[in-house]
Amino acid sequence: MRAIFVSYRREDAEGEAGRLFDDLVGVFGYHSVFMDVAAIQVGRDFRKAIDENVATCGVVLAIIGEDWVDAKNEVGQRRLDDPSDFVRLEIASALKRGIPVIPVLVQGAKMPRAEQLPNDLRGLAFRMVVELTHARWASDVQLLIKALRTTPVLEPVAQSLSAPADGPRLRQKRLPGSAWLDWILEKARSARVGKNARKSVDFPGAPRARPEVEQVELPNDLLVDNVHFTLTGPRVLALGRVHELRFWVHLEEQRSTVLRRASAAHGLPISEISEKSEGPYPLQRGSRLSIRLRIDGLKCLDSHKWITWTGEIGSTAFVVDVPASASEKTYPATASIRLNGCEIARMSFVVRVGPAKPDINEIPSITTTHRSAFASYASQDRVEVLKRIQGIEAAYKGLDVFVDVVDLRSGQNWEQELKRRISKSDVFYLFWCRHAKGSEWVDKEWHWALEAKGKDFIDPIPLEAPDVAPPPQELTAKHFNDPLLAFIAAAGGGHSR
């Protein structure tokens, strides 16, 4: 079946429709996208062909330009008022069958109102729209592609892309998240240069030009591993001394090596080391994790460290200062594990201060893994936020981030649905800057999150420094600064003013 049907009016948006068709074919494959001029055989009744393809497609993209509503035929009649108009027939057929229809606005066109449409098309006015602009074409198309990939009726096509029946398969499993195919295509094309310049590359969804296409092994940085997070340290932290806690990222089969290295790092026999390990978590190689350690009541001299997962054991050390005046008790602590600035997991544990107790060989801890997240942001920051989310979902398979503009469907009560999504999420990502500070919807969303689940549920993701965009008074205790901002600013990047 042809999963995606592109409906357009030639005199209205032929150029944009053709450009979008090419982009979709590059991702989903030629046999998964239908557009009349490119797919109907010469001599065939195109009315019948269009009707058959609409009936069997999974989604219809209605390309709407400036003249879509008011376009007239040769006798001066508005085309949409003609029951035999093919654009009207295409969309009406899809609406009647319950096939999802996505209005795609181009040329700065506005969404038609219901009263501007014939009765059999009025349902189109209540569909969530996607806008494609010339200046942001690439990012706008990526947003549309993400929406298409989450459409349930397209799942059989996605499966066929990952395992084509008529050609060789890529050896590595597909990447998680919405960006997996884009990166595979980019890596496959890059493989054509250098030492592999004379070899052809076969990738999912692309038509096979020659039967002798060779198979290419994907680069190491596209692999996804099931990693474990481990915390090690002395069983008890003695008063008046400085101690070291170490955080490790590793595979299950590397655990014994981790304990040997921890023994050497702490200067203690393995039998005298406390450790806690959690996992597995699916993580892409090349992902750079940031670890933030906090121990209530004790001072951590450097509380923010980085680890890049390469497939080999990674670790970082945190130095904890225990004053002689500290109370002999257990202290609550957390290790926040972050990717692209967003928290993907949180390890809650306790450390003991006092005399050594030989019967303690494990650090008591609870690890909260985030499986679902809600992204709250201002519309002006959409491209920047989607880039971050795309990177997180691609690198960390275990997380599903709700983005309103992508995930909300037509006919839904937006406010009610947003509240429901917030209450169901494990973490609330608050992308904060001056735009968000002035956004009515962002203000509503974080207040709903605070009321539903409290401050710990909210994870601020600063897009600007707090002196530029001060945090809300209710959230001043949260961390609204990020060392990443300094690096971005130094490199000449950063948030648009």
Please say whether the beta carbons of 247 and 231 come within 8 A.
yes
* 164 sits in which H/E element: none
As given in the structure block, the two tokens for residue 116 are 């501007």
Can you give the pLDDT at residue 151?
63
Percent of the chain having pLDDT more than 90?
Answer: 14
Alpha carbon 257 to its chain centroid, in Å, reads 33
Can you give the pLDDT at residue 480?
63
Classified by CATH at the fold level, domain 224-369 comes out as: Immunoglobulin-like (2.60.40)
| List of residues 6+ apart from 213 with CB closer than 8 A | 167, 168, 200, 201, 202
Can you give the pLDDT at residue 446?
92
Of the pLDDT bands very low, low, confident and very high (cuts 50, 70, 90), residue 103 is: very high
Of the pLDDT bands very low, low, confident and very high (cuts 50, 70, 90), residue 119 is: very high
For domain 4-155, which CATH number applies: 1.10.760.10, 3.40.50.720, 3.40.50.1820, 3.40.50.10140?
3.40.50.10140
Can you give the pLDDT at residue 63?
95
Residue 99: Cβ within 10 Å count = 18
Regarding predicted confidence, which is higher, 349 or 191?
Answer: 349
Tell me: pLDDT of 24 over 80.
yes
- CA 332/CA 353 separation, integer angstroms: 11
φ/ψ (deg, to 5) at 276: -140, 130
Say which amino acid occupies 24.
L
Average pLDDT, the chain: 75
Degrees (nearest 5) of the Cα angle 351, 356, 357?
85
Percent of the chain having pLDDT more than 70?
Answer: 72
pLDDT tens-digit readout, 57-101: 888 999 999 999 999 988 889 999 988 888 998 898 889 888 889
3-class DSSP state of 382: helix
- Whose tokens are 């085309």? That residue is 79
DSSP annotation of 396 reads B
Can you give the pLDDT at residue 278?
83
What's the pTM value of the predicted model, to 2 decimals? Answer: 0.42
pLDDT tens-digit readout, 423-481: 888 889 999 999 999 998 899 999 999 998 888 888 888 888 888 888 888 887 776 66
- CA 296/CA 299 separation, integer angstroms: 8
φ/ψ (deg, to 5) at 397: -65, -25
Specify the CATH architecture of the domain 372-490: 3-Layer(aba) Sandwich (3.40)
Can you give the pLDDT at residue 41?
62
- Whose tokens are 């549309």? That residue is 144
pLDDT tens-digit readout, 275-316: 888 888 888 888 888 898 999 999 888 788 888 888 889 998
Please say whether the beta carbons of 213 and 284 come within 8 A.
no
Of the pLDDT bands very low, low, confident and very high (cuts 50, 70, 90), residue 46 is: low
Per-domain residue ranges for the chain? 4-155, 163-222, 224-369, 372-490
Q: At what angle do helices 46-56 and 86-97 cross, to 10 degrees?
A: 30
3-class DSSP state of 421: helix
pLDDT tens-digit readout, 168-182: 333 233 333 333 344
Can you give the pLDDT at residue 395?
60
> Do 4-155 and 372-490 come out as alike in CATH topology?
yes
